[in-house]
């Protein structure tokens, strides 16, 4: 299940990628965003999100609005035949747009806690978080590929909720048009190969 997918751009690219490289069915893929449908269309100016939704419907992908990644038990209805074995959140960020480190740490910690208490999550399932990595734009240069992981103290947040990191992937260039919580593009098109994202996978500690 994908959570917090802005205008569903990340999900759309994954679906189309699988269509071209594999016969694997994506009908068990679920995706969601934080906003209600009307709010999402207004924030993302209608066009892109409506096009993405049309693609998802064409592939039979289940999508949901108003799913809070920090309150899954209350807001996420799982319709899969089996328990959810993977949850993905790329570029998590507070809806309030707060920039304080403690707020961001608490957001990620709340996400881990939410997954832990979601009845539909498989006991040995995997949490994948995609975070900002190396950047070389005119406004921002950073060569530490794990800077956001460290800055937000994500490993501590995971540990506090009974999870540990098992692997990572990247840094890689984003293959979709990522968006900020306000709706604008996270980076300019000319900077597409100057920003990277790194994915981190976590599993629950086994007693």
The pLDDT of 164-180, averaged and rounded, is 94
The pLDDT of 112-141, averaged and rounded, is 94
Contact 76, 116 (CB under 8 A): no
Q: Check residue 207 and give its pLDDT.
A: 67
Q: Check residue 19 and give its pLDDT.
A: 66
The pLDDT of 142-152, averaged and rounded, is 95
CATH of 2-204, one of 3.40.50.150, 2.40.50.140, 3.40.980.10, 1.20.140.10: 3.40.50.150
- State percent of the chain over pLDDT 70: 94
Q: Check residue 27 and give its pLDDT.
A: 52
Q: Among 27-31, 108-112, 114-118, 163-167, where is mean pLDDT lowest? A: 27-31
Q: Check residue 101 and give its pLDDT.
A: 94
- pLDDT of 92 higher than 60: yes
Closest by CA position to 90, among listed 148, 37, 160? 148
Task: Compute the distance between CA of residue 181 and CA of residue 96 in angstroms, rounded to an integer.
Answer: 8
Q: Check residue 25 and give its pLDDT.
A: 52
Q: Maximum Cα–Cα distance for the chain, whole Å?
A: 48
Q: Taking the model in full, what pTM does it have?
A: 0.93
Q: How confident is the model at residue 164 (pLDDT cuts 50, 70, 90)?
A: very high
Contact 43, 8 (CB under 8 A): no
Output the six-digit token pair for 144.
Answer: 């530490």
Output the six-digit token pair for 93.
Answer: 């960020």
Q: Check residue 22 and give its pLDDT.
A: 44
- pLDDT of 2 higher than 60: yes
Phi, psi dihedral angles at 54 (to 5 degrees): -65, -40
Q: Check residue 137 and give its pLDDT.
A: 87
| pLDDT averaged over every residue in the chain | 91
Q: What is the pLDDT of residues 31-78, one digit of tens each?
A: 999 999 999 999 988 678 999 999 999 988 999 999 999 999 999 999
Q: What is the pLDDT of residues 14-33, one digit of tens each?
A: 998 876 544 455 557 899 99
């Amino acid at each position: 299940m994908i959570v917090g997918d802005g205008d569903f751009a990340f999900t759309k690219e994954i679906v189309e990628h699988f269509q071209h490289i594999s016969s694997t069915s994506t009908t068990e893929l679920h995706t969601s965003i934080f906003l209600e449908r009307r709010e999402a269309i207004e924030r993302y100016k209608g066009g892109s999100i409506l096009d993405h939704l049309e693609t998802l419907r064409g592939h039979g992908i289940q999508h949901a609005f108003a799913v809070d990644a920090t309150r899954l038990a209350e807001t996420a209805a799982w319709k899969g035949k089996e328990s959810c074995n993977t949850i993905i959140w790329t570029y998590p960020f507070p809806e309030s747009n707060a920039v304080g480190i403690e707020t961001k740490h608490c957001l990620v910690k709340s996400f881990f806690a939410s997954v832990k208490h979601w009845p539909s999550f498989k006991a040995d399932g995997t949490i994948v978080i995609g975070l900002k990595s190396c950047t070389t734009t005119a406004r921002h240069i950073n060569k530490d590929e794990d800077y956001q992981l460290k800055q937000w103290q994500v490993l501590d947040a995971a540990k506090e909720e009974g999870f540990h990191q098992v692997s990572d992937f990247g840094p890689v260039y984003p293959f979709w048009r990522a968006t900020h919580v306000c709706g604008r593009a996270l980076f300019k098109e000319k900077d597409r190969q100057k920003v990277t994202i790194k994915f981190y996978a976590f599993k629950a500690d086994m007693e």
